[in-house]
Amino acid sequence: MKKLLLLALLCAGFYAKAQHAKPNIVFILADDLGIGDIGSYGQTKISTPNLDKLAKQGMRFTHFYAGTSVCAPSRSALLTGQHTGHTYVRGNKEIEPEGQEPLADSIRTFAMILQEKGYQTGVFGKWGLGMVGTTGDPNRKGFDEFFGYNCQRQSHRYYPTHLWDNNQRVELQGNNLRQKETYAPALIQAKTLAFIDQHKDKPFFLFVPTVLPHAELAGPDDEFYKKYEHAFPETPHKGNDYGPNATIAGYASVQKPRATFAAMVSRMDHYVGEIMQKLDQYGLTENTIIIFSSDNGAHREGGADPDFFNSTAGLKGYKRDLYEGGIRTPLLVSWKYHIPSGVTTSHVSAFWDILPTIQDLTNDQGKETTDGISILPTLLNKGKQKQHKHLYWEFHEDGGRQAVIYKHYKLIKFKVKDPQQSYVELYDLKKDPQEQHPIQNAKLTKKILKLIAQEHRESPIFPLLP
């Protein structure tokens, strides 16, 4: 009887411990991957078995939106929980010789919240929110470990001269912009897997902002490329080649751009599979939330052909557009036994919802200023899910653009920086999800323009209004 009682107490203690165990969080963020580039969102020409498996194991969102349609501000919106009318970094402001406008000292990221909650935190891939030694250094924004490209301009090359290991510059053997020997994504993936090896026995947050499949179109002549080498009709792309005239920010020529792009997506999918296998190896799958998304819509640089692959899944626009194809991105979330498997949701959400979701998940009581709403009720299928009254975006290039989704309507304002040239387009996304037929509604247009004025707070660093 005493043995049974002891066993019951031990089981109860184990159960209580399990109930309060902090789940690991793995967030994989693709670079310039269109919503239609993976199988679970309709891709037919490129094989993505691991991401398709992730979709079957968890929840697939059909109406999830990036922070905006280019890299740095979109990532700022993700990490800070604020849309681009409020977040600190609102454009790709380049700093020479290396880096972008840094996040300010006062800015808190959700990685900092997790760090304070006892998580080991690591980021492996592309940063772009502040050079080493600045206030935006990843080591000052919630990450114990960083390896990869600090500068997004440097990440235009898949055979760069160097990467960064925290504050140490790592020279890459055989890479000098004339020759290319060391493929950076392979090094970053090795560091990513090593992080799981090192921290498998404690709660960890692993952020993987991979550079794949961002232009340039490049990769080793290996099994991923050979799979597609003769699969598609091709037109060679002429770019800025490695050699005496190479520049950091250029994209190299590519003989078979379609095959190369497909290989890069398959390679990224394989890397996702390796992360999933590593979690399985250590028995961590049941206590790990895996999140997959992309920083913005499909790109057309470096020879990429999103129309051929239907990378936007039929939606209008590409990277740099505020049409749906530029900002609607995939979101897959899996957590075994917690998130229902094989579920598709049309719940409307955006990058700035991730911070409050993590706060909700970790019972963080911090009063962060956020534009987001926790999506944990949707993920766990528990409780009442709050809804956004509207969503807002800014884009600071090409004369400036602003956009709002209100109910099932979307208004985009163009040429914001020049009021005399400014104009708007209004769409009914329910009737016209491809944004092909602008509608006229003066009363609704006036209401949404008021929302645009309400949501934009001018920034001295990233001014938008004249």
95 and 231 co-located in one domain: yes
With pLDDT > 90 as the criterion, what percentage of the chain qualifies? 94
DSSP state of 62: E
User: Alpha-carbon distance 6 to 251, whole Å?
Assistant: 66
Q: What is the pLDDT of residue 15?
A: 36
C-alpha–C-alpha distance, residues 159 and 162, integer Å: 9
Residues 218 and 356 placed together within one structural domain of the fold: yes
Same domain, 334 and 442: no
Q: How many domains does the chain have?
A: 2
Q: Are residues 342 and 422 in the same domain?
A: no
Mean pLDDT of 256-265: 98
186 inside domain: yes
pTM: 0.95
| Per-residue pLDDT reduced to its tens digit, 351-371 | 999 999 999 999 998 888 999
Give the end-to-end CA distance of the chain in Å, rounded to a whole number: 80
Task: Please report the pLDDT score of residue 366 as a whole number.
Answer: 83
Domain boundary among 390, 410, 427: 390
Same domain for 368 and 220:
yes
Q: What is the mean pLDDT of residues 105-133?
A: 98
Q: What is the average pLDDT across 167-193?
A: 97
Task: Please report which helix (H) or strand (E) contains residue 231, including its range.
Answer: none
Of 390, 416, 432, the domain-final residue:
390
Closest CA to 334 of 41, 63, 54, 62: 54
Indicate if 371 and 432 belong to the same structural domain. Answer: no
Q: Can you spell out the DSSP letters for 131-180?
A: -TTSTT-GGGTT-SEEEEESSTTGGG-SS-SEEEETTEEEEPTT-SSS--
Whether 111 has a pLDDT exceeding 60, the answer reads: yes
Residues 189 and 103 in one domain: yes
On whether both 380 and 405 belong to a single domain, the answer is no
Q: Please tell me whether residues 90 and 214 are part of one structural domain.
A: yes
Q: What is the pLDDT of residues 141-165, one digit of tens each?
A: 999 999 999 999 999 999 999 999 9
Q: Domain of 464? A: 398-466
Q: What is the pLDDT of residue 365?
A: 87
Please state the separation of Cα 389 from the chain's center in Å.
23
**Residue at which a domain ends, from 390, 425, 452:** 390
pLDDT of residue 21: 78
Q: What is the pLDDT of residues 418-436, one digit of tens each?
A: 999 999 999 999 999 999 9
CA nearest neighbour of 261 among 204, 213, 206: 213
Looking at the fold, whether 334 and 461 belong to one and the same domain comes out as: no
On whether residue 16 sits in a domain, the answer given is no
One domain for residues 345 and 440: no
Sign of the Cα torsion 441, 442, 445, 451 reads negative
Same-domain check for residues 448 and 307? no
